[in-house]
Structure 1
Amino acid sequence: MFLHFFKNTFFIVAVTIVSCISPSTHKSPSHASAEAKTTPIPKKDKKLVLGANQTEAYLPLLKGKKVGVVGNQTSVVFKENGGYTHLIDSLISLDVNVTKAFSPEHGFRGKADAGEKVVDGIDPKTGVPIVSLYGSNKKPTQQQLDGIDILIFDIQDVGVRFYTYISTLHYVMEAAAEKNLTVLILDRPNPNGHYIDGPILEKKHQSFVGMHPIPIVHGMTIAEYAQMINGENWLAKNLTCDLMVIKMKNYTKQTSYSLPIKPSPNLPNDQAINLYPSLCFFEGSPVNAGRGTAHQFQVFGSPGLDQNYFPYRYTPQANDGSKHPKNEGKLCYGRDLTQERQLSKIELKWLLEAYQHSNNKESFFTSFFSKLAGTEKLQQQIEQGWTAKKIRTSWQEGLETYDTMRQAYLLYP
């Protein structure tokens, strides 16, 4: 199903007529909620069809145009036999003129460490020039967009505020709006799309790991999120990006989806992706969250935690996912969460017990912690001895307001 959202008009290309939302026309929350409740839920036996796999829907839009692709190793078209072809390879084989690629954090092939500078280059298979959006510039320059008629955005997200692909999305939309280019989004599932949770980001803590006033777990697909960026006027200078969306078929917020390709080097499996919103807080502390092990974001530990309280031991070592992991070569005491049940909330108990059983509480939190949390309040609450239940209660008003806002942009029940 293909939706085209103009700034002030609707344009629908599909065999079946569907309702949609213009990004510049914010529907009332009550209307959006009622509409979501009456949307038929796809039957379980219907196969999920990703946006990228609906070639017949977007190929006519690309013919005769110079195309730029914002993508990485997850930008693929899956085959019936279980294999896949990279989107760029697929487009070129169909005589689409792909003139340039843009890569987010971790690079075009997803090999770079978190936070590592990614440089420009050439795709060795196709010869297409690659512009890094995680190096000297995180936003495409107008010169870099010269000679492009349309931008495709196709990246697998995990639905978490500090996962920087949505920040890249923001800057791509902003640059495209300034250049008067259309952004075509090939939608993909959100593996953490079944819930929303966490504190709302405060404006003074805006950064590339948190650009918008949303909770940590936002509960939207990448296309829904793009609509919200437009609809809430989050782009600079009140710009609105011209969006086209290829919706998924037979997808709901409760659709279980196991990612066949790692979205980044340190999210190797479903367990890591599910635990990521809860364990990433440790990135703003001396605690290692599994980087430098085979169980990234599935274990945590530190030499500075009480070894009598924490039974699990491991020693982080340099590996493909992390060239210099935190506490490299040091014995860490912590917990193994590889067998933990699937979460439908941010679990605070591990953060609280790590702080409570730290040998140096005064230096437990770094300045990065508040950027991840989006607020200084969480650190203060932990230092003041708040329980997890009390902390979670303090999030509820913000979550309810956010949930009302996001209803206007949802494409799936």
Structure 2
Amino acid sequence: MRLSRRALLAATTAAASLTAAPPAGATGRRGHLRTGFENLRATAYAPLRGQRVGIVTNPTGVTRDVRHIVDVMHADPEVDLMAVFGPEHGFRGTAQAGGSEGRYDDPATGLPVYDTYLKSGRPLADVFTASGADTIVFDIQDVGARFYTYIWTLYDCMEAARLAGKRFVVLDRPNPVTGRSARGPVLHREFATFVGRQPISQAHGMTVCELARLFNGEFLTDPVPLETVPMTGWRRTDFYDASALPWVPPSPNMPTADTALVYSGTCMFEGTNLSEGRGTTRPFELLGAEGIDGRWAAAAGELGLPGVHFREAYFAPTFSKFQGRTVGGVQIHVHDRAAYDPVRTGVALLVTAKRVWSGFAWRPDNWIDKLTGSTLVRTAIDAGASTDEVVAGWQEELTAFRRVREDYLLYK
């Protein structure tokens, strides 16, 4: 029987309190953050005791001295770690966008590594069953955008764990672009894909533990037995550098925390015929196409958007769109992170690109609708709407999502 939201919150909050008691001396001061894994380890892995454990992770699952948690747990007699599950790009991170590593045995530990990419429902449940694990643990660094696929790996794994009769434990890490607020359009369910399974906003402003609670309480048909292990010392206003944690690229085109800062807005350029900067050293900060000149940077600069400057830029991607060809466009320079709104800025860049460059076009498959979660952004821009008019179009749905989101937040 499906639990009420109140009962579900009480259960998951109690579990979180039990597993995440802060170690002695932990504080909320800058640089004193402890991740979910650090808090789990401080309990001698109490929530995993007596369980055969499988873990969903990737290269971001590291300690602050950059040892991978799989290597740490495998060497610890307190944990019966018996399987690893790799998402898009793979457990060790060798695959590019849209790829994975397949099934293999990890050379470092000898553990079997199973591929979860593009698996969901019963096929993924069968993978969990075949692994022999009793409890599935999730520890991956997210970047705060709805279309970044790891949160949907989380969702799919939660659903599959329920189908397979497994417990599910989520270890928290910071939202690198803060958890201050949700921003952008909310996905409509008819546009659900692996870049957005459920109706959350484009920049969700949540951590993976908070999202797991939201998924369990709002979207899963039946909740999975869920425990969350939160961080200590993280505040919703903290950017990633406040954590003093090392940045490990969560995917090949997310090289820095600066990339994450702009990504929830400029990834929309995947849905156009412009380069979103893949194949450069500044993906999602560099945008452009053949035939664009300095008029685009000038038009964007005239908008006076808070927290950001636009530089006329020229670059030649080494792969992806315009491979080996010189293109013109803009580089985004964020100078005030607190004032910067990535989604509104992304819309403004779409609006101005269409106005100043006659070659502007959406991808023929309307991928922009999958990224933004509906036809709203594309059709409004095509109709000549201004940035403010486009943004106004999603405010009612965003307000409703923000109200739902509040029930699942763990941090102040």
TM-score norm. by structure 1 comes to: 0.84
Match of residue 34 from structure 2:
49
1:378 shift after superposition: 0.7
| Backbone CA RMSD of aligned residues | 2.5
Residue 58 of structure 1: how far off its partner (Å): 5.7
Partner of 1:24: none
Q: Which amino acid aligns with 2:258?
A: Q
Q: 1:385 to 1:97 in 2, by over 3 A?
A: same
The structural deviation recorded for 1:277 is: 0.8
Match of 2:195 in 1: 209
Report the CA distance shift for 1:371/1:228 in structure 2 as closer, same or farther (over 3 A). Answer: same
Q: CA deviation at 1:110?
A: 2.0
Please say if 1:103 is aligned against 2:91.
Answer: no
Counterpart of 2:58? 72
CA deviations on 1:374-399 (whole Å, 9 max, x unpaired) are 01111010011111111112221111
Q: Residues of 2 paired with 1:16 and 1:265: CA distance? A: 33
CA contact (8 A) 1:7 1:240 kept: no
Count how many residue pairs are aligned between Structure 1 and Structure 2. Answer: 373
Relative distance call for 1:362 and 1:287 in structure 2 (3 A) is closer
Q: Distance in 1 between matches of 2:353 and 2:342?
A: 19
Q: Which residue of 2 aligns with 1:183?
A: 168
Cα deviations by residue, 1:321-369 (Å, 9 ceiling, x for unpaired): xxxx111112211001245543244112212112222333455664211
Secondary structure of 1:336's aligned partner:
strand
Of 146, 159, 166, which residue of structure 2 is paired with 1:161? 146
Kept in 2: contact 1:118–1:135 (CA 8 A): no
Is the counterpart of residue 132 in structure 1 residue 118 in structure 2? no
Equivalent residue, structure 1, for 2:322: 327
Which letter maps to 1:402? F
Q: Report what 2:268 is aligned to.
A: 281
State the alpha-carbon separation in 1 of the partners of residues 99 and 175 from structure 2: 25
Identify if the C-alpha distance between structure 1 residues 143 and 60 changes in structure 2 by more than 3 Å, giving closer, same or farther. same
**Alignment partners' CA distance in 1, 2:267 and 2:371:** 8
Candidates 64, 69, 76, aligned match of 1:94: 76
* Counterpart Cα distance in 2 of 1:196 and 1:127: 41
Partner of 1:375: 374
How big is each residue's C-alpha offset from its partner over 1:137-196, in whole Å with a ceiling of 9 and x where there is no partner? Answer: 686232542411111100001111000011101110011111221111111110122231
Return the match for 2:281 from 291, 294, 308.
294
Structure 1 pair 386/145, CA: closer, same or farther in 2 (3 Å)?
A: same
What is the alpha-carbon distance in structure 1 between the residues aligned to residue 28 and residue 104 of structure 2? 44
In the alignment, structure 1 residue 174 sits paired with structure 2 residue 159: yes
How far has the Cα of 1:309 moved from its partner? 4.6
CA shift for structure 1 position 62: 2.3
CA–CA distance in 2 between the matches of 1:261 and 1:202? 32
Assess, with a 3 A threshold, how the Cα gap between structure 1 residues 176 and 201 changes in structure 2: closer, same or farther.
same
Matched residues in 1 for 2:256 and 2:393: separation? Answer: 31
How far, CA to CA, are the matches of 1:334 and 1:14 in structure 2? 49
TM-score, length of structure 2 as denominator length: 0.84
Pair 15,267 (structure 1): closer, same or farther in 2 beyond 3 Å: closer
Change over 3 Å in CA distance of 1:170–1:136 after alignment to 2: closer
Identity percentage over the alignment? 32
Shift, 1:306, TM fit: 5.0
Read off the aligned partner of 1:378 and give its amino acid letter. Answer: V
Of 246, 255, 264, which residue of structure 2 is paired with 1:268?
255
Query: Does 2:217 align with 1:222?
Result: no
Q: Aligned letter for 2:224?
A: C
Structure 1 stretch displaced more, 359-368 or 340-349: 359-368
Query: Given that residues 119 and 135 in structure 1 are in contact (C-alpha distance below 8 angstroms), is that contact kept between their aligned partners in structure 2?
Result: no
- Given the alignment of the two structures, is residue 145 of structure 1 paired with residue 146 of structure 2, yes or no? no
TM-superposition CA deviations, 1:222-262 (whole Å, max 9, x none) = 00001011111x22xx2111111111111111122236211
Return the letter of the residue paired with 1:73: P
Unaligned runs of 5+ in 1: 19-41, 319-324
Code of the aligned partner of 1:351: L
What SS does structure 2 have at the residue aligned with 1:106? Answer: coil
The CA deviation string for residues 39-83 of structure 1, in whole angstroms up to 9 with x for no partner, is: xxx7535711111112023612323321100000011122xxxx2
Question: Matches of 1:16 and 1:245 in 2, distance apart?
Answer: 8
Unaligned ranges ≥5, structure 2 = 1-6, 22-26, 298-311
Amino acid at match of 1:141: A
Question: Which amino acid is 1:226 matched to?
Answer: A
Partner secondary structure for residue 275 of structure 1: helix
Give the secondary-structure state (helix, strand or coil) at the position aligned to 1:100.
Answer: strand
Aligned residues of 2:128 and 2:161 also touching (Cα < 8 A)? no
